[in-house]
Amino acid sequence: MSTRNARGETLIDQAGPLHKSDGTLACPGYATSLLLDYRRKKVKAPAWRIKEWDYYLVNDDEFAVALTLSDLGYAGLVSVSVIDFAKAAYKTTSVVTPFPLGRFRLPETSGSGVSAFENARASLRFEAADGTRRLRALFRRFDGDEDLSFDAVLDSEPQDSMVIATPWAEDPLAFYYNQKIVGMRAQGSLKKGQLVHGFAPDNSFGLLDWGRGVWTRDNTWFWAVAQGWQGDGDAPRRVGLNLGYGFGDTSAASENMAFVGGVASKLGRVDFGIPEKRPGARKVADRYDLMAPWNVTDDEGRLNLTFTPLLDRIDYMDFKLIRSDQHQVFGTFDGTVVLDDGSTLAIENLKGSAEVIHNVY
């Protein structure tokens, strides 16, 4: 079911079940497609601990729209964000529902099926079939009295994606099964009040963060993703980045990849190099100077990027027993990445985000 890559990471290269009969992961490691089958009924943890989510982001050089549909067991979160790059501004509106416990019936695979939610305030629907994804959202009173509507189609899915199956050393039933599809072609439209914006397929991109898992109670993770055209001349290349760490026992594999023309190059361990203000501070914003440039590097000398922040999308709540401290920083990446074939990819003004999230629940 697996082999070892040159740095000793486990590459999942055959299809099979995600879990063994005892509820532990069958094969911790990484892949470039969704080879292992997730089945909710095979998860041994109680329903309130199971977390399932679909997160889509569509962006061009002017705007980004982020859509989240998640069943966190004890709570359901439905969220839409609009990011205005020119104004360095954002608006996020969410609906929280108590104890869905699987009632959202999110698909057990990323490649097909429908993820949907609807109440009097919001309606989200994601349809995946035959390599095409249709995203639709309607949010009443999204921004004051302004309603929001969004409709987009994603296609031209890359050959490779980032897939990782990660356990936790301290809890054999905890796991994180995740796929990041970066650099799909997107086209669609956004309407918010008097704002109308079209996402044209020649310069608009879509990504999916698809995840299923059972987590331990207290976790901090770091995730960066970027997508867009790179290179001058008549043949620019579609480029994507997926970088992350801090979540679970990643001794079998990291989730770090660069994508060029839909083909993945696997990277080693990374560090985001975020300037620190008060090391050890409890709140993310107190510890890190998030709006200063970040120096993103790896342990093999293949990654050397500067992330220049534009805006910090903040979501913070503290109910003592439940705490979420989220900072998703949008900006641009510049620098170089050495690909698996030994060539150097120059990155210039590539739009993306880099986040630090601390959740206790």
DSSP track, 98-151: E--TTTT---SSSSSEEEEEE-SSEEEEEEEETTEEEEEEEEEEEETTEEEEEE
Q: How far is it, in rounded angstroms, from Cα 353 to Cα 207? A: 12
Per-residue pLDDT of 165-175, as tens digits, reads 999 999 999 99
> Model pTM?
0.97
Residue 112's pLDDT band, with cuts at 50, 70 and 90, is very high
Per-residue pLDDT of 278-336, as tens digits, reads 999 999 999 999 999 999 999 999 999 999 999 999 998 777 667 889 999 999 999 99
Q: Count of residues for the chain? A: 361
DSSP, collapsed to helix, strand or coil, labels residue 42 as helix
pLDDT computed for residue 7 by the predictor: 86
Which residues are CB-neighbours of 3 under 8 A, at least 6 positions away?
10, 11, 13
The answer to whether 118 touches 103, Cβ cutoff 8 Å, is no
Provide the mean pLDDT of the chain: 96
